[in-house]
């Protein structure tokens, strides 16, 4: 069995973002730290758990982005993935999921993956498109927001549980090859083991070239990034911790809440 | 009219769900701008369907569409798109919508914008607004290659006037059978939590509490109030600190207490969806840019491990009549 996990590296959420009104994109502080998208970490863990049940399974990782992305790919290999592939894209700007999914589908073409896993969305863009689009381009079925998955090699199918609104569930079987976009809560991602860290150190991450003309397609673009609008008054309490605590008690008391 | 908008109805067992009228409202806004024709499409297996207000209805009927599958819905969408040649396709951003909408966009090789929260009309074109970066930023998108598929957040557009004149209903019999998907069935979650549902004060823990032991702080804070309950963000539940029946948000509970206190919660749109109707919202977060502050009446920029004990001390002082 061959599994591909598509991952994205995202800025740590407490890193400072600045919005430059002149630019169509948000800038991160120079010292911003980056991490694997949390949902993708769950996807890597799901792949590792399948391999534990089906020994001999190969797990590949692929990611699109600038040089820094290698660190996230390496982290997945430290968790236990077998091989890493990097599609270099140097710009820190909006790259449409339509283009990303075309790059990944192109990458998959002759590699015969039985199962492709992604996170349900990325923490920064929150679009949730790249996974289902990749599946559609490859002509394979997909399920989004997956809370449980099991492979049945004999039946060549993937059993999935999808989470629906208000916590309801939908169960189904998808014919392999298939793609699942996993939701958090499906598992607890493991920490790298020392032996995997050592192995990952000596494994090369392969850079894959692609047809640059794929980047020219005119899909939707982000024209502007703005501070989110505010829905409530938003009184910010000032002073020392104790002063704020006293002020909060007073405010709640005035509103007969305490 | 050569601009065409197609919406895909949100349905359950052939019944059109109310969010469909929000899609129509969104279509009417865009349609007013481009002077578009608007058609609603209903995939299903329903021989008799009532007309809907404000748009013609195209029913795509096939036994294989008796229940939702991404495969079935995308085939129905493609069939309808072939007929209607839409410039824009509007779908609800629900667990069904986000499952198949991006697939439809890819198969039509169009553009796609998901979880749209608003539309802005300016200098001769339309911008689509959506939230990102943990809710901290909004982004304005411009359409690209057509058709443009958008998914619209439930609640973002007030429902279209259901008194408007009903449109025509047209049936198209199709032979759509999912071939990659089988054995589909559903379960209804039984996650009742009467304490949380009836609470007047909800103290909610997020990933920011850091560790299970800090749940004690949340409990002690809750004990300062009458009729209080504790709840959590999805991450707090994923981490096993709380049961899933205490999760607030899109895939959890919707609560509207007198007071909601968010402790170490970033304020993603999926969480806000579950608590935005609370009367008063207080947030404690150490990140001054956290999105939750945009949805709060009282903002406390503090480390919760320091602030909550200080607040509890304050409440005890009053309780013991020392103030
Ligand atoms: C389909 C789908 C459905 C979803 N449904 C839901 C849902 O129903 N409910 C839900 O909650 N989420 C839901 N989510 C997840 C949602 O997008 C967010 O990931 C989640 O709400 C984040 O939880 P959080 O705020 O606890 O964690 P984080 O986003 O990690 O935020 C933690 C916050 O704590 C702050 N913090 C850290 N340490 C401290 C400290 N010591 N003191 C004070 N503050 C601190 C940080 O500044 C940060 O703002 C869903 C996601 C998807 C894709």
- Exposed / middle / buried, residue B33 (Cβ in 10 Å: 0-12, 13-18, 19+): middle
Lowest mean pLDDT among A134-138, A166-170, A202-206, B148-152: A166-170
Q: Are residues B29 and B159 in the same domain?
A: yes
Residue of A nearest to B132 (CA): A125
Number of domains in chain B: 2
Q: Is residue A195 part of a domain?
A: yes
Whether the CB-CB separation of A13 and B208 falls below 8 Å is answered with no
Give the three-class secondary structure for A76.
helix
Q: Is residue B30 part of a domain?
A: yes
Give the three-class secondary structure for A172.
strand
Q: Is residue B185 part of a domain?
A: no
Look over chain A and give the mean of its residue pLDDT values, rounded to a whole number.
Answer: 94
- The alpha carbon of residue B257 is apart from the nearest alpha carbon of chain A, in Å, by 11
- The alpha carbon of residue B168 is apart from the nearest alpha carbon of chain A, in Å, by 31
What are the distances in angstroms from CA B264 to CA A18, A157, B104, B204?
A: 22, 41, 37, 9
Atom of ligand 1 nearest to the CA of B251: 8
Which pair of tokens denotes residue B218? Answer: 């949340």
What pLDDT band is residue A169 in, cutting at 50, 70 and 90? very high
Q: Which domain holds residue B45?
A: 4-173
Sequence-distant (6+) residues with CB within 8 A of A249 are A258, B311, B314, B315, B318
Q: Is residue B18 part of a domain?
A: yes
What are the distances in angstroms from CA B50 to CA B120, B205, B261?
A: 32, 45, 45
Chain B residues touching residue A115 (CB < 8 angstroms): none
- Determine the pLDDT at residue B323: 66
Tokens 């090699």 belong to: A153
Q: Is B290 in the pocket of ligand 1 (CB under 6 A)?
A: yes
- Exposed / middle / buried, residue B100 (Cβ in 10 Å: 0-12, 13-18, 19+): buried
Atom of ligand 1 nearest to the CA of B303: 42
Q: Is residue A92 part of a domain?
A: yes
Pick the last residue of a domain from B139, B173, B207.
B173
- Centroid of ligand 1 to alpha carbon of B277 (angstroms): 18
Tokens 């990102």 belong to: B132
Q: Is B99 in the pocket of ligand 1 (CB under 6 A)?
A: no
What pLDDT band is residue A211 in, cutting at 50, 70 and 90? very high
Nearest CB to B136; choose among A170, A172, A228: A228
| CATH classification at residue B127 | 3.40.50.620
Summarize pLDDT for A130-158 with one digit per residue, the tens: 999 999 999 999 999 999 999 999 999 99
Q: What is the dihedral of CA A20, A26, A28, A34, to 10 degrees?
A: 180
Which pair of tokens denotes residue A38? Answer: 């949390």
Residue A26 has pLDDT above 80, yes or no: no
Which pair of tokens denotes residue A173? Answer: 């079987």
Sequence-distant (6+) residues with CB within 8 A of A202 are none
- Determine the pLDDT at residue B1: 63
Q: Is B272 in the pocket of ligand 1 (CB under 6 A)?
A: no
- pTM comes to 0.94
| CATH classification at residue A146 | 3.40.50.620
Pick from A56, A60, A57: nearest CA to A73 = A60
Return the DSSP state at B244. Answer: G
- Determine the pLDDT at residue B161: 76
Q: Would you call A129 and B252 a contact, using CB atoms and an 8 Å cutoff? A: no
Q: Is residue A27 part of a domain?
A: yes
From B236, B243, B250, B261, give the residue whose CB has the most ligand 1 atoms within 8 Å, as the site to mutate.
B250
Q: Which domain holds residue A182?
A: 2-216
- Centroid of ligand 1 to alpha carbon of A203 (angstroms): 34
Which pair of tokens denotes residue B139? Answer: 């982004």
Which residues, in sequence order, are bridge partners of residue B307? Answer: none
Residue A23 has pLDDT above 80, yes or no: no
Lowest mean pLDDT among A27-36, A49-58, B167-176, B312-321: A27-36
| CATH classification at residue B215 | 3.40.50.1220
Q: Is residue A123 part of a domain?
A: yes
Spans in chain B with pLDDT lower than 70: 1, 323
Query: Beta strand pairing status for B125-132 and B137-142?
Result: antiparallel
Return the residue whose CA atom lies nearest to atom 29 of ligand 1.
B266
């Amino acid at each position: 069995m061959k599994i591909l996990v598509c991952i994205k590296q995202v800025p740590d959420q407490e890193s400072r973002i600045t919005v430059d009104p002149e630019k169509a994109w948000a800038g991160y502080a120079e010292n911003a730290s980056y991490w694997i998208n949390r949902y993708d970490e769950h996807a890597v863990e799901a792949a590792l758990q399948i391999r534990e049940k089906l020994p001999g399974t190969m797990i590949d990782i692929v990611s699109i982005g600038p040089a820094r992305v290698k660190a996230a790919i390496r982290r997945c290999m430290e968790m236990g993935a077998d091989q890493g592939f990097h599609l270099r894209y140097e710009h820190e700007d909006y790259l449409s999921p339509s283009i990303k999914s075309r790059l990944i589908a192109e990458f998959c073409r002759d590699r015969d993956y039985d199962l492709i896993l992604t996170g349900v969305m990325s923490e920064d863009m929150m679009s949730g498109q790249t996974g289902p689009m990749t599946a559609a381009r490859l002509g394979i079925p997909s399920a989004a927001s997956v809370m449980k998955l099991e492979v049945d090699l004999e039946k060549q199918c993937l059993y999935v549980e999808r989470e629906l609104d208000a916590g309801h569930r939908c169960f189904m079987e998808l014919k392999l090859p298939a793609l699942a976009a996993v939701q958090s809560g499906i598992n607890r991602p493991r920490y790298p083991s020392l032996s995997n860290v050592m192995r990952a150190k000596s494994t090369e991450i392969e850079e894959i070239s692609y047809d640059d003309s794929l980047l020219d397609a005119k899909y939707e673009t982000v024209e502007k990034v703005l501070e989110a609008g505010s829905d409530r008054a938003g009184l910010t309490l000032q002073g020392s911790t104790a002063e704020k605590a006293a002020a909060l008690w007073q405010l709640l008391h005035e509103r007969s809440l305490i | 009219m050569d601009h065409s908008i197609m919406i895909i109805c949100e349905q359950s067992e052939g019944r059109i769900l109310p969010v469909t009228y929000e899609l129509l409202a969104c279509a009417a806004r865009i349609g007013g701008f481009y002077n578009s024709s608007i058609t609603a499409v209903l995939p299903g297996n329903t021989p008799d369907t009532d007309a809907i207000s404000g748009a013609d209805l195209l029913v795509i009927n096939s036994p294989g569409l008796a229940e939702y599958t991404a495969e079935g819905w995308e085939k129905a969408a493609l069939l309808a798109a072939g007929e209607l040649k839409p410039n824009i396709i509007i779908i609800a951003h629900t667990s069904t919508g986000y499952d198949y909408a991006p697939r439809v966009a890819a198969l039509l090789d169009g553009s796609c914008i998901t979880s749209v929260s608003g539309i802005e009309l300016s200098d001769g074109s339309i911008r689509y607004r959506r939230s990102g970066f943990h809710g901290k930023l909004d982004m304005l998108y411009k359409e690209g290659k057509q058709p443009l598929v958008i998914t619209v957040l439930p609640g973002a557009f007030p429902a279209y006037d259901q008194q408007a004149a009903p449109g025509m209903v047209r049936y198209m019999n199709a032979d759509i059978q999912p071939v990659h998907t089988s054995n589909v069935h559903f379960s209804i979650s039984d996650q009742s939590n009467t304490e949380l549902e009836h609470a007047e004060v909800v103290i909610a823990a997020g990933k920011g509490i850091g560790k299970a032991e800090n749940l004690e702080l949340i409990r002690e804070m809750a004990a300062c109030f009458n009729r209080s309950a504790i709840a959590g963000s999805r991450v707090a539940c994923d981490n096993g600190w709380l049961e899933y029946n205490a999760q607030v948000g899109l895939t959890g509970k919707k609560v509207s207490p007198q007071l909601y206190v968010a402790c170490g919660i970033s304020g993603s749109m999926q969480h806000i969806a579950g608590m935005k109707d609370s009367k008063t919202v207080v947030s404690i977060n150490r990140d001054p840019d956290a999105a939750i502050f945009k949805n709060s009446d009282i903002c406390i920029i503090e480390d919760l491990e320091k602030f909550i004990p200080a607040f509890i001390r304050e409440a005890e002082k009053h309780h013991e009549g020392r103030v």
